[in-house]
Amino acid sequence: MDLATIGGLVVGFGLVMFGTISAGLSPLDIFNIPSVFITFGGGAAASVISSPLSRLMGLPNYTKFAFSPRHSDIGNLILTLVNFSERARREGLLSLEDDLVNLDEPFLRKGIQLVVDGTDPELVRNILQTDMDNIGERHKEGISFWGDLGFYFPAFGMIGTLIGLVQMLKNLGSGDPAAIGAGMAAALITTLYGSLGANLFAIPMQRKLQLRSNDEMVVKSIMIEGILSIQSGDNPRIVKDKLSSFLAPGERGQLDDAGGG
């Protein structure tokens, strides 16, 4: 469970409530059911309209990675690839076939299988790169939905503001201050909901999922480079040095401490 995502939402919402109470208002003062329907209902409906059905069907499974990310130990992955390189140089590429059943990562297992089958290196790169690109495109579909929400929430908040202004102007001639105040409150609260929904929820979710996608693409890139280095028969030390370039300088020393190559 990603505490940063959950903690950020809880703390952000809590600070908004604290600011509301500190301003002398009650949380009920900023709760308006029509504004909820207009802003969040309208924004969600517009996002659904702009999204293909395939994106909507896969959205729950993808969104969960913002709260429960996939844990990829890049250091351990690099050491695994280095060990494969040592074994391939010592016993041949066919010896890696025995390790395929122990690989939990489908992408890595697919790449090693291609190498064991004697596939041309350029074809191996093309196949794996195409697979990685398609994974990235599927990620973009889920990410773009949250981007749509971040765009539509403020837009429908403005629509709600206009509706509230119409209500206020309609009651202006009646001279009823309560009716005028209700219209003004609805106008302002929808703008609040739109900004809050976009900036505290939708846009942060979009950014978090984009970071998750970028991290996964880095892992896939390490796998591709490692697989091709194994196929070309590179020295294990060269394989480790090449793959460690994906790590921050402060993390590279851990690979030396762990051995390999």
User: Is the pLDDT score of 170 beyond 70?
Assistant: yes
The residue assigned the tokens 């402060």 is: 250
* 103 and 109 Cβ atoms separated by less than 8 Å: yes
* 202 and 156 Cβ atoms separated by less than 8 Å: no
Which pLDDT tens digit goes with each residue over 56-80? 777 787 788 788 767 777 888 888 8
pLDDT of residue 198: 94
Q: Mean pLDDT, to the nearest integer, of 32-39?
A: 90
Angle between helices 121-170 and 203-232 (to 10 degrees): 180
Q: Mean pLDDT, to the nearest integer, of 128-142?
A: 90
Q: Give me the torsion for CA of 151, 153, 159, 163, rounded to 10°.
A: -170
Determine the length of the chain: 261
pLDDT of residue 220: 93
For residue 57, which phi and psi values (nearest 5 degrees)?
Answer: -65, -35
Helix and strand element counts for the chain (H, E): 11, 0
pLDDT of residue 255: 67
Average pLDDT of the chain? 86
Among 216, 223, 218, CA closest to 65: 216
Q: What percent of the chain has pLDDT over 90?
A: 39
pLDDT of residue 260: 46
Q: Which of 31-35, 44-48, 71-75 has the lowest mean pLDDT?
A: 71-75
Distance of alpha carbon 241 from alpha carbon 226, whole angstroms = 11
User: Is the pLDDT score of 257 beyond 60?
Assistant: no
